[in-house]
Amino acid sequence: MKVVRTVDDARAAIPSAGVGLVPTMGALHAGHVALLRAARAENETLVASIFVNPTQFGPGEDYGEYPRDEERDLHVAEAEGVDLVFAPSVDGMYPDGFQTWVEVEQVARGLEGAARPEHFRGVATACLKLFNIVRPARAYFGQKDAQQAALVEQLVRDLNVPVEIRLVSTVRDEDGLALSSRNALLSSEERATAIALPRALSRGKLAFASGEDPIAAARAVLDAEPSLGVDYVETARFNGRVHLLAAVRAGRTRLIDNVLLEGSL
C-alpha cells in the first residue's frame, strides 16, 4: 500500500481508470471498513483519503479534538486491501489564496445545515476536490450521514462530475449505536444514554409501519432520556428515499443517526 501526501504525487500514482474512492476523515472504524469492502469488491484500484477537513467544522466545533490516529488507520487500510491512501496536509488542500467554494442549495438547508452553517459548503468543496484529484469511477458514502450522501449525489448530478456515487448501509454496534469516530469522545455514562438515539429511530420506524407519526414516536423515546439534548427529529426525502433523522447531544458530543422509512439505498 502506498501513502501519498501531495496532490501532484496523488495524480502521478493513481491510474486513470478503474478507481474506487472512499473519502474519510480517519479514525477508521467498522463503518468505514464496510465502505472499503464495498469499494474493494467493485474496483480495480482502491483509494482511501484521510483528511480531517477543517472547512466543514464551525468555529466552536470539535476540529481540534476530532480523533486522529494515522498509524492505526494505515494498518486498517492496508488490511482491507487499499492500494493507495491520499493523506494531504491542510495547506495542500487549501493553499494561500484559496477562494472557490461549492454551495449546494436546498439539500444543504435544514437538519445538519441548520445546526452547522457552512458545514456542507466545506463537505461539498472537499468532496469535489477529492473527485478532481483522484478521478474515481465510483465513490462510496455511508447512509449514516444521509444528508451528506444526498448532497454529494446532487453535486455530482448538477456539476456533471463523472463519478458514480454508491451508498452503504449504516454499521452499528451490537447495542444499536451507529459507529462514529465521535463515539470515542463519549464518557461511559454518555455512551450508555446515547443508545436512546437508535432506539428512538427504531421506534419511529415501527410507528411509521403501523400508520402512526414516526417523529412523535421517536421524540417520546428521546424525551425519556433527559440527559440527551435533542437538536432535531425530522423526516426528509432524498432522491426517492424517505429517512427519519435525528441529532442529539450527549455531553459535548453531537451524534446523528437515521433510518430509512421508504425506498432503498
Judged on CB neighbours under 10 Å (0-12, 13-18, 19+), 108 is buried
**Count, residues near ligand PAJ per rule CB under 6 A:** 24
Cell of 120: 456542507
Least distance in Å: CB of 226 to ligand PAJ? 26
Tell me: does residue 144 bind ligand PAJ (CB under 6 A).
yes
User: Which span sits near ligand PAJ by CB under 6 A: 7-15, 69-77, 176-184, 238-246?
Assistant: 176-184
179 binds ligand PAJ (CB under 6 A): yes
Contact 154, 113 (CB under 8 A): no
Positions marked active-site:
32
Residue selected from 76, 82, 93, 178 as contacting ligand PAJ according to rule CB under 6 A: 178
Q: Does 80 bind ligand PAJ (CB under 6 A)?
A: no
Spatial neighbors of 139 by CB under 8 A, at least 6 apart, are 20, 21, 22, 23, 127, 130, 131, 152, 163, 164, 165, 166
Q: Least distance to ligand PAJ from the beta carbon of 10, Å?
A: 15
Instruction: For residues 265 and 256, give the distance between their C-alpha atoms in angstroms, rounded to a whole number.
Output: 18
Nearest approach, Cβ of 212 to ligand PAJ (angstroms)?
27
- Which residues from 203-222 bind ligand PAJ, rule CB under 6 A? none
Identified binder of ligand PAJ from the candidate list 123, 233, 247, 255, rule CB under 6 A: 123
Largest CA distance in the chain: 55
Query: Is residue 32 part of the contact set for ligand PAJ (CB under 6 A)?
Result: yes
One of 66, 86, 131, 141 touching ligand PAJ (CB under 6 A): 141
Secondary-structure breakdown of the chain: helix, strand, coil percentages, each rounded to the nearest 5: 40, 25, 35
Using the rule CB under 6 A, is 48 a contact of ligand PAJ?
A: no
Cell of 138: 465510483
Least distance (Å) between residue 8 CB and ligand PAJ: 21
Contact 102, 128 (CB under 8 A): yes
* Angstrom distances, CA of residue 265 to CA of 145, 160, 216, 249: 13, 21, 25, 27
Residues in the chain: 265
Is 53 among the residues that bind ligand PAJ (CB under 6 A)?
Answer: yes
| In 16-99, alpha helices (H) | 30-42, 70-79, 90-93
Establish if 31 lies at the interface with ligand PAJ (CB under 6 A). yes
Q: How far is the CB of 149 from ligand PAJ (least distance, A)?
A: 7
Would you state the cell numbers that stand for residue 82, as one nine-digit string? 487499499
With contacts defined by CB under 6 A, name the span among 9-17, 85-93, 104-112, 139-147 that binds ligand PAJ: 139-147
Residues that bind ligand PAJ (CB under 6 A): 23-25, 31-32, 34-35, 53, 56, 123, 126-127, 141-142, 144-145, 148, 168, 170-171, 178-181
